[in-house]
Chain A
Amino acid sequence: MIAVESLAKSFGSIRAVDGISFTVGKGEILGFLGPNGAGKSTTMKMITTFLPPTSGTAKVADFDIWENPLEVRARIGYLPESAPSYKDMNVYDFLMFTAEVRGYDGEERKNRVMRMLETCNLKEVAWQLIDTLSKGYRQRVGFAQALLHDPEYLVLDEPTDGLDPNQKQEVRALIRRMGREKCIILSTHILEEVEAVCSRAIIIGNGRIVADGTPEALRSRSVLHGAVTLELTGEGIKDALADLQKIEGVARVEELKNDDLPAKTAVAEGEDAAGSAKNGKSSLRVRLFPKKGVAIAHEAAKFVHERKWEVDAFTLEKGDLNEVFYNLTKGGEKA
């Protein structure tokens, strides 16, 4: 278990991390989410004993970062942001070095390195200087280094940063696989990543925790959560807007003017106004917002069916993590 207790770090007058507490257990993949400058990396640097906190502490497997930093380091696999590695070494030598420092020697050391080259698909570049590798390969070298001693705890700072979409998928799959028997903290500012891999997410803004929960729970904080988006076609559909208000449990109906933007920020009135004409019929895109805690999908479907409108699309919104993220962290952006 990693237990973080009121961790804080100041750089001069900058309060980079401002009293963060949480615990992560085995089998959990904790996503550390926040805008740039929120304090994600600084927190990770303190947990991995690189930086001493200004106040507070953290325990990894019951070893305190102040009292037993070496024990903590021995148990953590850490991938620092942008995966630094000794560029004047080749991949094999670099991993042999970390293996040596991790306490392996002889055959065991070689075997571990070979296994890592395999796991991280590095075999074909094993003898290449790290300097000459592409960003994707360097990231894999960083992974190999972090996983070499099969640590119980993994701290990954933006593990998919700079990777192409395929590589991102690979890395996410790898993390998910490892997450079953390890305790993982990863930071990211990519929201889809949190949904794809994390069992839990902590959003930090301005050095503080502003939300903590499963990705689903966080998403349900979205005003969109539980809303129903409809695309209707029919005659006299213009009048439907008022009609839809009558559905039980609906708090508010909003007409959607532009495909790309969420309702609240929809652009200039008049543009793409009020549905387009299609075969003499007109169409309408609306979003029904439920009253708090009410499920409206069923009622809405029934209602639309009764009115005999053609339904081009019917979507039950799960909520938008982007919106939650934005609302929780806006104003928290630092210069």
Chain B
Amino acid sequence: MRNLKAVLKRELRGYFESPVAYVFIIIFLLATAGCTFFISRFFDARVASLDPFFVWHPWLYLFLVPAVGMRLWSEERKSGTIELLFTLPITLIEAIAGKFLAAWAFIGIALVLTFPMVLTVGYLGSPDYGIILTSYLGSFLLAGAYLAVTCLFSAMSKNQVISFVLSVVACFAMVMLGVGVFTDFLNGFLPVRISEAISAFSFFTHFQSFQRGLLDSRAIIYFVSMIGFMLTANAIVLEMKKAE
């Protein structure tokens, strides 16, 4: 546990000691604000709700989360420091969890910094703060799921760009499974039960339940087990690939 903390601290410091962190946070804030105000036309809607803000998260995370996570293992393998890391008295689980949690915390910090949105909507009207809270939780869990996918693909390639592209594609697939057009498409040739089962695996459907103000335990369990599954796969891939 102490070693998990050591790894986590090292990674998190790594983010803030490079300009990339600040660039990322600024892009994240600008993008969320831009989408909310200019594309969703937040002010014109005249509704005291942050829906137009959260609705963009699955799409923004699609690029931003892989950008945060791509280097986690690629860099470690490329520079050979993985040999250092795994000959220190650290377990595989500590290392994987430490890195994951560091990147997740970093995204969490970026998410917290969107609080002016809450202030704005609170100033303009009287929103349902319960929904806002569950939406934030849902958004954070969604980011965690994206990040776990990214960790997995980061372990697969020494090349950060390849890790990034593969992660984006994989996350996109996980989202699309539950998006209307895609389920409609599946319904075209699959029995509804099967296409529903497929979309039940989507990030998107589970994210949406949080946006309705539900603290759906099934959705929480879904995201947590998705993260657990991806990180387990991450461990297996690392074990296989670390020699290279």
The answer to whether B87 and A76 have CB atoms under 8 Å apart is yes
One digit per residue, 1 when the CB lies within 8 angstroms of any chain B CB and 0 when it does not, for chain A 92-123 equals 01000110111100000000000000000000
Which of B7, B17, B84, B90 counts the most chain A CB atoms within 10 A? B84
The answer to whether B90 and A101 have CB atoms under 8 Å apart is yes
Asked if B79 is at the interface (CB within 8 A of a chain A CB), the reply is yes
Q: How far is the CB of B238 from chain A (nearest CB, A)?
A: 12
What's the Cα separation between A101 and B81 when bound, in Å?
Answer: 15
The answer to whether A70 and B83 have CB atoms under 8 Å apart is no
What's the Cα separation between A50 and B81 when bound, in Å?
Answer: 12
Tell me which residues across on chain B come within 8 A of A93, comparing CB atoms.
Answer: 13
Residues of B at the A interface (CB closer than 8 Å) are 2-3, 6-7, 10, 13-14, 17-18, 79-81, 83-84, 86-91, 242-243
One digit per residue, 1 when the CB lies within 8 angstroms of any chain B CB and 0 when it does not, for chain A 49-84 equals 111000000000000000000100110101010101
Tell me which residues across on chain B come within 8 A of A45, comparing CB atoms.
Answer: 83, 243
What's the Cα separation between A89 and B13 when bound, in Å?
Answer: 9
Given contacts A73-B89, A74-B89, A102-B89, contact A88 B17 (CB under 8 A): yes
Tell me which residues across on chain A come within 8 A of B13, comparing CB atoms.
Answer: 93
What's the Cα separation between A51 and B86 when bound, in Å?
Answer: 9
What's the Cα separation between A73 and B92 when bound, in Å?
Answer: 13
Across chains A and B, the number of contacting residue pairs, with CB separation under 8 Å, is: 61
Interface residues on A, range: 20 to 34
One digit per residue, 1 when the CB lies within 8 angstroms of any chain B CB and 0 when it does not, for chain A 23-41 equals 0000000000000000000
Tell me which residues across on chain A come within 8 A of B87, comparing CB atoms.
Answer: 48-50, 73, 76, 78, 80
Tell me which residues across on chain A come within 8 A of B14, comparing CB atoms.
Answer: 86, 88-89
What's the Cα separation between A106 and B86 when bound, in Å?
Answer: 24
Tell me which residues across on chain B come within 8 A of A48, comparing CB atoms.
Answer: 87
The answer to whether A103 and B83 have CB atoms under 8 Å apart is no
The answer to whether B91 and A97 have CB atoms under 8 Å apart is no
Q: How far is the CB of B163 from chain A (nearest CB, A)?
A: 17
Q: List 21 A-B contacts (CB under 8 A).
A: A11-B243, A45-B83, A45-B243, A48-B87, A49-B87, A50-B86, A50-B87, A74-B89, A76-B87, A80-B83, A84-B81, A84-B83, A87-B79, A88-B17, A89-B10, A98-B88, A100-B2, A101-B7, A101-B90, A102-B88, A145-B84
What's the Cα separation between A309 and B50 when bound, in Å?
Answer: 106
Q: How far is the CB of A328 from chain B (nearest CB, A)?
A: 27
List 13 additional contacts besides A84-B83, A101-B89; criterion CB under 8 Å. Answer: A45-B243, A50-B87, A74-B89, A76-B87, A78-B87, A80-B83, A80-B84, A80-B87, A84-B80, A85-B84, A86-B14, A88-B14, A98-B88
The answer to whether B242 and A50 have CB atoms under 8 Å apart is yes
Tell me which residues across on chain A come within 8 A of B86, comparing CB atoms.
Answer: 49-50
What's the Cα separation between A86 and B13 when bound, in Å?
Answer: 12
What's the Cα separation between A323 and B224 when bound, in Å?
Answer: 63
The answer to whether B243 and A101 have CB atoms under 8 Å apart is no
When A and B form their complex, which 6 residue pairs have the shortest distance between CB atoms, in order from nearest? A84-B80, A100-B6, A73-B89, A74-B89, A48-B87, A80-B83
CB-contact partner of B88 in A11, A82, A89, A101, under 8 A: A101
The answer to whether A82 and B80 have CB atoms under 8 Å apart is yes
The answer to whether B79 and A103 have CB atoms under 8 Å apart is no
Q: How far is the CB of B110 from chain A (nearest CB, A)?
A: 20
The answer to whether B81 and A70 have CB atoms under 8 Å apart is no
The answer to whether A70 and B89 have CB atoms under 8 Å apart is yes
Tell me which residues across on chain B come within 8 A of A74, comparing CB atoms.
Answer: 89
Tell me which residues across on chain B come within 8 A of A50, comparing CB atoms.
Answer: 83, 86-87, 242
Within 8 A of B (CB), among A160-190: none
The answer to whether A86 and B83 have CB atoms under 8 Å apart is no
What's the Cα separation between A73 and B80 when bound, in Å?
Answer: 17
Chain A residue at minimal CB-CB distance from B3: A101
What's the Cα separation between A51 and B17 when bound, in Å?
Answer: 32
Tell me which residues across on chain A come within 8 A of B18, comparing CB atoms.
Answer: 88
The answer to whether A97 and B6 have CB atoms under 8 Å apart is yes
Chain A residue at minimal CB-CB distance from B71: A88
Tell me which residues across on chain B come within 8 A of A101, comparing CB atoms.
Answer: 3, 6-7, 88-90
What's the Cα separation between A215 and B13 when bound, in Å?
Answer: 48
What's the Cα separation between A330 and B181 when bound, in Å?
Answer: 66
Tell me which residues across on chain B come within 8 A of A100, comparing CB atoms.
Answer: 2-3, 6
Tell me which residues across on chain A come within 8 A of B6, comparing CB atoms.
Answer: 97, 100-101
Tell me which residues across on chain B come within 8 A of A80, comparing CB atoms.
Answer: 80, 83-84, 87
Tell me which residues across on chain A come within 8 A of B88, comparing CB atoms.
Answer: 73, 98, 101-102
Chain B residue at minimal CB-CB distance from A105: B2
Tell me which residues across on chain A come within 8 A of B83, comparing CB atoms.
Answer: 45, 50, 80, 84
The answer to whether B84 and A51 have CB atoms under 8 Å apart is no
Chain B residue at minimal CB-CB distance from A90: B17
Q: How far is the CB of A39 from chain B (nearest CB, A)?
A: 13
What's the Cα separation between A93 and B11 when bound, in Å?
Answer: 12
